[in-house]
Structure 1
Amino acid sequence: MIKIANAPCSWGALEFDLEEKSDEIGFEQVLDEIKETGYLGTELGDWGFMPTDPSKLKAEISKRGLQLLGAFVPVALADKSKHSRGVEAALKVAQLMYNSGYKNAFIVLADENGSVTERTKNAGRITSEMGLSKEQWSVYASGAEKIAQAVKDKYGIRTVFHHHCAGYVETPEEIDMLMSLTDPNLLGLCLDMGHYAFGGGNPLHALKKYDERIWHVHFKDYSPDAAKASQEVNGDYFDAIKRGVFCELGKGNVDFPRIISHLKEKGYKDWIVVEQDILPGMGKPKECAQANRDYLISLGL
């Protein structure tokens, strides 16, 4: 049975270093509203958003009848000098999940998105000239594997890579490159439907292409109209988010009915995490979470 979760990013709790951080909704409200809108699980959110004491974290999640599925860990993988720090960050998060009893949760590894000006400014319209060199790809892939191996060796926790706009692995071609350079038994793929569409691809094609490499799934929709409006004013990644590039499920161009049909046909029985990224203080998260859950119910999930 496919189970549906949501994540703190849908309430504006993001990993980016933003001035709007002060407008974040507290974790108690986020967990309450995830439960109240019909979801069964959550991801951890940025380090420190939820309790970092294992017993407290377990108590907060368990008393709402939820499960913890994973934690987002951003690392500047193109910079070899950041790899050791990335290992430390991933192990810290893995230890928290392991000691809290969530041994099947994932490390959701990603680039340090939003930190490279050119990539952030051109999200959704990346060209090959903005990408990594052959040598940089080797560094990037080895860093991802180093982190995944460390987490697996110490805690037995698996790592998935989350492709993401405003990072170095955004386009279908860049995802292909990273997947070709890494061990499929060590590093899985977290397929995010909205980011894949924003990056210029068809998520259904990716779902079929990567198949067994996909260990974790994010449901996010993509509005080409919002992306176009942002591009017309030369807006960056954050401008696109403000314009609603990640809209409510069913209101963008991601073909969720066919995606769900494919997941069911292949016997997928794990979690789907709904995400509708917003900036802190933006929108009405609970109403959107409810609308997204109702939409998936209408599609049989």
Structure 2
Amino acid sequence: MIKIANAPCSWGVLEFDLEEKSKQMGFEQVLNEIKETGYIGTELGDWGFMPTDPNQLRDEIQKRNLELLGAFVPVALANLNKHDEGVLMALKVAELMYKAGSKDAFIVLADDNGSVSERTQNAGRIQLKMGLSDDQWKDYAQGAEKIAKAVKDAFGIRTVFHHHCAGYVETPQEIEKLLSLTDPNLLGLCLDMGHYAFGGGDPVEALKLYSNRIWHVHFKDFSPEIAKSSRDVNGDYFDAIKRGVFCELGKGMIDFKTIVDLLHQLKYDDWIVVEQDILPGMGHPKVCAQSNRDYIKALGL
């Protein structure tokens, strides 16, 4: 059965070191509003946003009848010197989820997005010359597998890779490259519909192409009009986010009806996580969360 969750990023809890983070609301309000708007699961959010004591974390999740299904872990995988640090961070997060009783949760591994100026400035319009060399690709894939294996060996927790704009795995070609270099039994794909579209691809085609690698799904919509308005002023990734490039579900270009039909055909029976990056001042997260849940219900989920 497909289950619908939301995530703290929809309340402005993002991994980036932005000024707006100082205005984040507390985890209690976020969990309460996730529950009140009809979702049954959540991701962890930034380390330290939710309790890092596993007993307290389990109590907070369970008393709202929610499930903790995963945690986003960014690592600068193109840098060999960051791999061991990435392993330690992923193990710390995995241990917290495991001890909190979330043994089927995912590590959602990603690049250290937004940390390379060229990729951040050119999100949504990446050129081949901005990519990794063959040696860097080997390092990148090695790091992803090293982290996935460490987490699996220690806690039996699976790892999915989240392609992401403003990172080194953004375009359909880069996603294909990473998947071709990694073990399909060790590293799955978290298909994010909005990021795939922003990166220049068609999420419907990605779902067909990578059905055997997709272990986790993010529902995020994408507005090409807002992307263009940002591009016209040479805006970077963060400018596009602040303009609302990831809009409410149903208000962008993503064909969610076809995607839901395909997920049923593929017998996908895991989580769909709704994400709509909302920074403070951009809108009302609870209102958007409710609108997004209502939209998905209209699609039969």
- Tell me which interval the TM-score lies in, with the shorter structure as reference length: over 0.9
2:104 is matched by which residue type in structure 1? N
Structure 1 residue 282: Cα displacement: 2.8
How is 1:8-47 mapped onto 2 (pairs within 5 angstroms)? Answer: 8-47=8-47
Q: Is the 8 A contact 1:222 1:253 kept in 2?
A: yes
Structure 1 residue 247: Cα displacement: 0.2
2:153 is the counterpart of 1:153: yes
SS, match of residue 98 in structure 1: helix
Q: C-alpha separation between the residues in 2 aligned to 1:189 and 1:100?
A: 24
Structure 1 residue 268: Cα displacement: 1.0
How is 1:91-240 mapped onto 2 (pairs within 5 angstroms)? Answer: 91-240=91-240
Q: C-alpha separation between the residues in 1 aligned to 2:192 and 2:74?
A: 15
Counterpart residue number, 2:2:
2
2:220 is the counterpart of 1:257: no
Q: C-alpha separation between the residues in 2 aligned to 1:51 and 1:283?
A: 26
TM-score under structure 2 length normalisation:
0.99
How many residues align? The count is 301
Structure 2: which 5+ runs fail to align?
A: none
1:47 is matched by which residue type in structure 2? W
Q: Deviations over 1:27-71 (max 9, x none)?
A: 100000000000000000010000000000000010000000000
2:292 is matched by which residue type in structure 1? N
Q: Deviations over 1:261-301 (max 9, x none)?
A: 00011111111000001224431100000000000011111
SS, match of residue 211 in structure 2: helix
Q: C-alpha separation between the residues in 2 aligned to 1:37 and 1:215?
A: 25
2:62 is the counterpart of 1:62: yes
Structure 1 runs of 4+ with >6 Å offset: none
Q: Sequence identity, in percent? A: 76
Structure 1: which 5+ runs fail to align?
A: none
Q: Is the 8 A contact 1:24 1:281 kept in 2?
A: no
SS, match of residue 101 in structure 2: coil
Q: C-alpha separation between the residues in 2 aligned to 1:170 and 1:46?
A: 21
Instruction: Please provide the CA RMSD for this pair.
Output: 0.6
Q: Is the 8 A contact 1:12 1:282 kept in 2?
A: no
2:18 is matched by which residue type in structure 1? L
SS, match of residue 210 in structure 2: helix
SS, match of residue 188 in structure 1: strand
